[in-house]
């Protein structure tokens, strides 16, 4: 079965004459010719008896050439369409390409805005310093100890609650603290010891602020055990874990412990008769 191909040329949707005048404008001109009115080209006062050619641009278009710019657009050739003319206002073209003049706003001298520049730089520096200070303050406040930890930072003990010759154990920062109200005989015994014979030489006066009050951490310096009070060979403290003996001043006298019992920081509040640890 053989197929036959036939080429069909469809009429264009918009036609133009060889001169570029649209078909619609020609039809309008033809209607004017038939009516014999203004713009037809056949009125005696316009173009004479014969009138203009049908494919020429009417005279009313030529009269507007002072304010109209005619440009020729050549589309891609298809063999069907003809070149057309488009009109654009020349005044609008000049307005779109105009550049504003900012010369009146320019500084007359480089020193004109220098004060403003210094003010802006100083203001920004002040704001930056304020923000940095606030940030550092917030960080430090978050890293600070809480209220319950600060409450344990110091411990106050009523001195009148401890009779002479007795011990008191209090908890400070999670550690036991021995408080001994020593008698005159105990003070004399502590001072008679020859410190040269001690493993950790230390005089009794260097370990106390007041001779009658002895304050020490109740932690054995060997392995951290808690010694027993009023025990041992020297009438002081004894650690039953490994056999360390401490005298009435808390100094190591026998056993594996290398150092004396530690003395914490403390003060006396005579107005309230209190001993403040920490």
What is the set of active-site residues?
242
- Residue 69 to residue 91: CA distance in whole angstroms: 9
| Cβ-proximal residues to 91 (8 Å cutoff; 6+ apart), any chain | 67
What are the residue ranges of helices labelled H in the chain?
23-35, 59-62, 90-96, 114-143, 147-151, 184-191
Q: List C-alpha distances in Å: 57 to 26, 34, 62.
A: 9, 18, 8
Are 247 and 236 contacting, i.e. CB atoms less than 8 angstroms apart? Answer: yes
Burial class (CB in 10 A: 0-12, 13-18, 19+), 244: buried
How big is the CA angle at 30 (ends 28 and 32), to the nearest 5 degrees? Answer: 70
Are 214 and 179 contacting, i.e. CB atoms less than 8 angstroms apart? Answer: yes
Phi first, then psi: what are they for 178, rounded to 5°? Answer: -90, 125
| Tokens read off for 172 | 């400070």
Nearest to 41 by CA among 187, 32, 177, 222: 32
Give buried/exposed letters for 77-116 (b at 16+ CB in 10 A, else e).
eeeeeeebeeeeeeeeeeeeeeeeeeeeeeeeeeeeeeee
> Element (H or E) spanning 90, and its range?
helix 90-96
The DSSP symbol for 162 reads S
């Amino acid at each position: 079965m053989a197929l036959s191909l036939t080429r069909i040329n469809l009429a264009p949707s918009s036609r133009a004459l060889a001169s570029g005048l649209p078909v619609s404008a020609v039809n309008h001109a033809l209607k004017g010719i038939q009516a014999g009115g203004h713009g037809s080209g056949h009125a005696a006062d316009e173009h004479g008896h014969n009138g203009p050619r049908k494919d020429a641009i009417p005279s009313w278009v030529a009269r507007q050439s002072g304010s109209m710019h005619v440009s020729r657009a050549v589309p891609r050739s298809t063999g069907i369409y003809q070149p057309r003319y488009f009109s654009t206002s020349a005044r609008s073209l000049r307005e779109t390409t105009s550049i504003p003049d900012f010369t009146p706003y320019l500084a007359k001298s480089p020193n004109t805005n220098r004060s403003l520049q210094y003010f802006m730089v100083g203001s920004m520096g002040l704001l930056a310093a304020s923000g940095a200070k606030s940030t550092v303050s917030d960080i430090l406040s978050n890293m600070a100890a809480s209220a319950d930890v600060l409450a344990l930072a110091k411990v106050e003990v009523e001195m009148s609650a401890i009779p002479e010759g007795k011990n008191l154990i209090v908890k400070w920062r999670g550690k036991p603290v021995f408080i001994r109200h020593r008698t005159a005989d105990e003070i004399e015994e502590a001072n008679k010891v020859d410190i040269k014979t001690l493993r950790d030489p230390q005089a009794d006066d260097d370990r106390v602020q007041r001779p009658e009050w002895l304050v020490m951490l109740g932690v054995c310096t060997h392995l951290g055990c808690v010694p027993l009070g009023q025990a041992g060979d020297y009438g002081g403290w004894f650690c039953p874990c490994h056999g360390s003996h401490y005298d009435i001043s808390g100094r190591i006298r026998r056993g594996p412990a290398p150092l004396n019992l530690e003395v914490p920081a403390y003060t006396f509040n005579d107005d309230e008769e209190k001993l403040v640890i920490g």
